[in-house]
Amino acid sequence: MIHTVAELHREVTVDSKKIGIALVGCGTVGGSTARLILDEKDSIKKRTGLDLNLVAIVDKDFTTAKQLNLPETLFQADLDKALSNPAIQVVIELVGGTGFAKELTIKALEAKKSVVTANKALLAQHGKELHKIAQDNNQVIGFEASCGGGIPIIRALTDGLMANSIDALFGIVNGTCNYILTEMIQKGTSYASALADAQKDGLAEADPSLDVEGIDSAHKIVIMGGLAFGAQYDLDSVPVKGIDTLSSQDVTFGSEMGYVIKLIASALKTKNGSFLRVEPAFIAEDHPLAWVSGSFNAVSVYGHAVGHTMYYGRGAGGNPTASAVVSDIISIGNGSYPLIYGQLNFDPTVDKAAKQLDSSEINRRYYVRLAVEDHAGVLARITKILSDHGISVSSIHQPEILSKEESGEEAPSLVQVILTSHKVQERVLLKALDEIESAGDVQKGSTIIPILDEHPEFLSL
Amino acid sequence: MIHTVAELHREVTVDSKKIGIALVGCGTVGGSTARLILDEKDSIKKRTGLDLNLVAIVDKDFTTAKQLNLPETLFQADLDKALSNPAIQVVIELVGGTGFAKELTIKALEAKKSVVTANKALLAQHGKELHKIAQDNNQVIGFEASCGGGIPIIRALTDGLMANSIDALFGIVNGTCNYILTEMIQKGTSYASALADAQKDGLAEADPSLDVEGIDSAHKIVIMGGLAFGAQYDLDSVPVKGIDTLSSQDVTFGSEMGYVIKLIASALKTKNGSFLRVEPAFIAEDHPLAWVSGSFNAVSVYGHAVGHTMYYGRGAGGNPTASAVVSDIISIGNGSYPLIYGQLNFDPTVDKAAKQLDSSEINRRYYVRLAVEDHAGVLARITKILSDHGISVSSIHQPEILSKEESGEEAPSLVQVILTSHKVQERVLLKALDEIESAGDVQKGSTIIPILDEHPEFLSL
């Protein structure tokens, strides 16, 4: 069997293989992808024997294409004409969204073209259906560019780490959020002002909701978690909390305790099932994920044999995304990706234990901030209720507030109490907080932020 | 073409494929590999459709194998018997060294078995010859485990980053050295005492020379640099400096200036050629490589499109190495690796500009420590000579030394002067230092340590 494949390949590479490509959607990423294919054509041919032949650039608006001096002879407004061209074997979908992009992907697959896409929303919402259509048509969908931009994280999960059962995956997979959080941490600015800076620098959209509300990260964890655990997750089952309600005082209090705030997309496997989730979380400042700053992305993967590995790089932008798109085309062209893709389980859950559990059951540590009326007995009442719920407090901190007599100023009516808990289920903590807040001397809507500890690695190396 | 491969695969996976494996060399890594294959057999079959069938464990001594409760029915002292067994398609070479390991690899390839190895010394010294034999026999050599343990860095270079022309690669690829340096940095201990600790903790061999002299790192940079630049480098052409002559005062002085000392294996490409090198170097404390501590490894790769990416994980140990070995077997079994391997250029230099240049020509910044007699005029003379050679000093620091009258103690006869240079070629710097040392008031053998600045990324994202 092995010989057959090797021999087949040897015959094939004697002649250089020509891969006909149609690129649909020529915006920032599309433009960079077209440039990369055209500029690196000779170099890629020399290195791989593959002749990447860009046949058509399909769009309605060629403004970006013209700005990049892409050859106008490739411009094509008629998608169906491109899809019926037998010289085209691969269609690059870079239109975004889940409407026309889905239609286009299905059309291309049914026309017996493989599809390469950077569209995480499309795959998170319709992956199961689209992968089925691809398989039925003996085609593949390449999606390295959908998670972590140019970081080859999809290949790590589908090839490099295949000997492992993946235990956990923690990702910083949205550059806009990480840029905003880095500004908040380093400059102590508010969320609103850091967002405005990011928008000014072109690192956040005018409507930033997809990013800051954590939706984009949720798309990515559905894709990566599915690959890691051999399951197909429903986007709606993933609890998502963004950074848009984050207060700068929590960022600061966390810093003082040695934690760095990050928007973490996580997938954890336990013996009962898995937890997928997106939320702002505190990471200990000596964990590698805490170092990832600015618009960079990183994904920490814990395999049962390999232990902790991490993949770091630019998670967005034209050239990094184009790098992943074109690498996918090369892997399709040399035939390796179809063999890897053929092994992937997009439909059934291979591991029954990989079903998504209610994440309020995860057992972990929490940071809690309460706004409390400054009178005798309130702290005693809070700690009593926590203790009654079996919640063990590992640290408690109340910044010193001077009285009017001491400071000469009006003392605030509410003081902030920060505590950290030992491991507890979120639903237990929320129940206790509900009771704490019901007495009237603790403001409703206390802040809770999970503290993600180092995932336990295998014990023997 | 694409359809053919996909269709071929679809036929093939209808029946589960059985891959017969002989493991040669059952020490720490061999034992972990055998355990991983046996323990994960069912899980891998479920996830990939491949049936990894360990047919023989070949060794002379089965002490480790017995300790791990490996099935004695697999023990086989007769290598030739294993190699003539038609049920075996893949031979795992884990005997180490370049003598018997080479002989065994050739025998296996000629017996039409593919080989998977973790042996960097073997490939760095005989890679060209062995890859040729593999190709002539329509077989492959899997070597993911040879660099960075379980980190899938070989796959990143040969698959995930294929759209890129790689500009530079900086690796911390020896866990023993990184552990020792981390001890020196964090505890301020001497090299000798940190080495003794590492030996006590089982993280350094009784004879640590292969690690601490940088030879192991050189093997890895020859392999990774060759893949990155499509060239075949001669191990002897790579300048190698280890950590064994490093002084703790340089580690401390560097720290005070915001630098972290690391043993860096680097491969740089310029328009005239490439520089491969192993040496202790200072990294700015905010560069991701500076964060890699203890026995962890990491490789920074700069691609012209993707920009900066980094791959982090455990670079050694039984289970992490076994993870890479078994992932290679899976990729051979599903047929994807033979297609990737077939593209690699092990013989000719694809890019003429990839030839190894004399690395004393690299232009970079340096840290210099001079032991100087404490008398008037010596600093003026030093800076004059540097200036005469066109070397521009960016900082100069002389720790305050009190005279006998001021401190009541005998002042040392020599004082340490630390300076950092702007970019300069090493040969120019060495010439200037030679002149500086020739006057007799500066001790011979001044310390120079390069300062590696962030590699310039592409400018437009």
Q: What is the pLDDT along chain B (461 residues), one digit of tens a residue?
A: 333 444 434 344 434 589 999 999 999 999 999 999 999 999 999 989 999 999 999 999 999 999 999 999 999 999 999 999 999 999 999 999 999 999 999 999 999 999 999 999 999 999 999 999 999 999 999 999 999 999 999 999 999 999 999 999 999 999 999 999 999 999 999 999 999 999 998 899 999 999 999 999 999 999 999 999 988 899 999 999 999 999 999 999 999 999 999 999 999 998 889 999 999 999 999 899 999 999 999 999 999 999 999 999 999 999 999 999 999 999 999 999 999 999 998 776 666 667 889 988 899 999 999 999 988 889 999 999 999 999 999 999 887 766 667 767 776 678 999 999 999 999 999 999 999 999 889 999 999 999 998 777 754 43
Pairing of strands A141-142, A114-117: parallel
Predicted local confidence at residue B308, as pLDDT = 96
Question: What residues form DSSP beta bridges with A90?
Answer: A21, A114
Residues of A with Cβ-Cβ distance to B44 under 8 angstroms:
162-163
Which residue in A has a C-alpha nearest to residue B154's C-alpha?
Answer: A160
CB contact under 8 A, B307 and A325: no
Nearest Cβ partner for B161 among A152, A164, A310: A152
Predicted local confidence at residue B375, as pLDDT = 83
Predicted local confidence at residue B354, as pLDDT = 74
CB contact under 8 A, A163 and B325: yes
Choosing among A162, A326, A350, which should be mutated to test the B contact, i.e. which has the most B CBs within 10 A? A162
* Cα distance between residue B217 and residue B191, in whole Å: 18
Whether A116 shows a pLDDT value over 70: the answer reads yes
Residues of A with Cβ-Cβ distance to B1 under 8 angstroms:
12, 17, 89, 335
CB contact under 8 A, A305 and B36: yes
Predicted local confidence at residue A418, as pLDDT = 96
Residues of B with Cβ-Cβ distance to A162 under 8 angstroms:
44, 47-48, 326-327, 330-331
Distance from CA of B203 to the nearest CA of A (A): 11
* Cα distance between residue B243 and residue B180, in whole Å: 9
Distance from CA of B73 to the nearest CA of A (A): 24
SS3 B289: helix
Nearest Cβ partner for A327 among B160, B329, B336: B160
Which residue in B has a C-alpha nearest to residue A291's C-alpha?
Answer: B288
* Cα distance between residue B14 and residue A208, in whole Å: 46
Tell me what the pLDDT averaged over chain A comes to. 91
Q: Are A292 and A314 spatial neighbours (Cβ–Cβ below 8 Å)?
A: no
Predicted local confidence at residue A345, as pLDDT = 80
Say if residue A257 is exposed, middle or buried (CB neighbours under 10 Å; 0-12, 13-18, 19+). middle
Whether A376 shows a pLDDT value over 90: the answer reads no
> Residue-wise over B110-147: b if at least 16 C-beta within 10 A, else e?
ebebbbbbbbbbbbbbbbeebbebbbebbbbbbbbbbb
Most confident range, picked from A109-113, A200-204, B6-10: A109-113
Of B220, B241, B262, B269, which one is the catalytic site residue? Answer: B220
**ipTM of this predicted structure:** 0.94
H or E element, residue B99: none
CB contact under 8 A, B311 and A312: yes
To the query of whether residue A220 is one of the catalytic residues in this protein, the response is yes
More confident position, A456 or A134: A134
Predicted local confidence at residue A350, as pLDDT = 64
Nearest Cβ partner for A313 among B9, B310, B314: B310
Q: Are B21 and B52 spatial neighbours (Cβ–Cβ below 8 Å)?
A: yes
> Residue-wise over B398-432: b if at least 16 C-beta within 10 A, else e?
eeeeeeeeeeeeeeeeebbbbbbbeebbbebbeeb
Per-residue pLDDT, averaged over A17-39, amounts to 97
How is residue A42 written in tokens?
Answer: 């000779």
Contacts of A45 (CB under 8 A, 6+ apart): A16, A51, A52
Question: What end-to-end distance do the CA atoms of chain B give, in Å?
Answer: 34
Where residue A22 falls among pLDDT bands split at 50, 70, 90?
very high
Nearest Cβ partner for A230 among B47, B230, B314: B47
Whether A457 shows a pLDDT value over 60: the answer reads yes
Of A113, A220, A241, A262, which one is the catalytic site residue? Answer: A220
CB pairs under 8 A between A and B: 291
Pairing of strands B363-373, A141-142: unpaired
CB contact under 8 A, B2 and A345: no
SS3 A171: strand
CB contact under 8 A, B306 and A323: yes
SS3 B21: strand
Q: Are B226 and B232 spatial neighbours (Cβ–Cβ below 8 Å)?
A: yes
Q: Are B334 and B48 spatial neighbours (Cβ–Cβ below 8 Å)?
A: yes
Nearest Cβ partner for A163 among B40, B336, B343: B40
Whether A7 shows a pLDDT value over 60: the answer reads no
Where does A334-376 have alpha helices with state H?
336-343
